[in-house]
Amino acid sequence: MRRPIAAGNWKMNGLKKHKDEILDIDNASRKANCDVILCVPSTIISEISKITKNIFMGGQNCHTEKNGAFTGDISAEMLKDAGASHVIVGHSERRVNYGETNNNIRTKTQIALENDLKAIVCIGETLSEREDGTTLDVIKKQLIESLPTEIIGENIIVAYEPIWAIGTGLTPTIHQITEVHDFIRVELVQSFGNDTGQSINILYGGSMNAKNVKEISAILNVDGGLVGGASLKADSFVPIINALGKS
Ligand code: PGA
């Protein structure tokens, strides 16, 4: 049985002074029937992880290497050291802005796992791929190439985030989300066997909000959400956490 996940992605937002907002989210998560993960900027993970009790802390990216001469980068080991338990890898903003490839993302996932972090591996098609009818081909390639060949299901979370739905207020239809999530489940089972394939949470991400969460989370293979803009405030994130906990 997969426990639902409500993951917030704060992107390049979040200062020490926002800790009250995070504490409100933390308090509201005490009774939630889902795991809540907040992926905040790495600069505040250490401080926030010390004061929260009910939520997991996540990073938003890690380097492919363990350590070394990589000015400005952050390693999986550093995130773990700061208090993170999770890390997002392969977010489309990094794939697009920094040219991250599936191969990079597989290495990042591997090093995250080696450092005892659970990896939230993001995949998703562009609008033109959706319009060309190649969505499932793109998803399959990203999924297979971004995941290591040997995994423990509980340590991997897949996030399906159509790029055209991120930060745009647009969301795919329920039919479109169902089709992709079912497809991902079948691919995971085929690649890793039934037990592992069934144990992996598949999150939906892209303009998830308090209004659409109920319908989206009712879909069989939607096991939670990866939420950007709406996770920044307790007022908008807590209703999403509660709805995901009920799914
Ligand atoms: P959004 O972002 O909820 O603001 O669309 C989601 C994400 O990028 O993970």
Q: Give the domain ranges of the chain.
A: 5-245
Residues in the chain with pLDDT < 70? 247
Q: What are the DSSP calls for 54-104, one per residue?
A: S-EEEES---SSSSSS-TT---HHHHHHHT-SEEEES-HHHHHHH---HHH
Q: Of all protein residues, whose CA lies closest to atom 2 belonging to ligand 1?
A: 228
- pLDDT value at residue 128: 97
- Give the pLDDT of residue 246: 84
Q: Give the pLDDT confidence of 108-119 residue by residue, as tens digits.
A: 999 999 999 999
Beta-strand runs (E) in the chain: 5-9, 35-39, 56-59, 86-89, 118-123, 156-160, 201-205, 224-227
Q: pTM for the whole thing?
A: 0.98
Q: Which one of 3.20.20.70, 3.30.470.20, 2.60.120.260, 3.40.50.300 gives the CATH number of domain 5-245?
A: 3.20.20.70
Nearest CA to ligand 1 atom 3: 228
Cα of 193 from ligand 1 centre, angstroms: 30
Residue-level pLDDT at 247: 67
3-state DSSP call for residue 200? Answer: coil
State how far the Cα of 6 lies from the Cα of 3, in Å rounded to an integer: 10
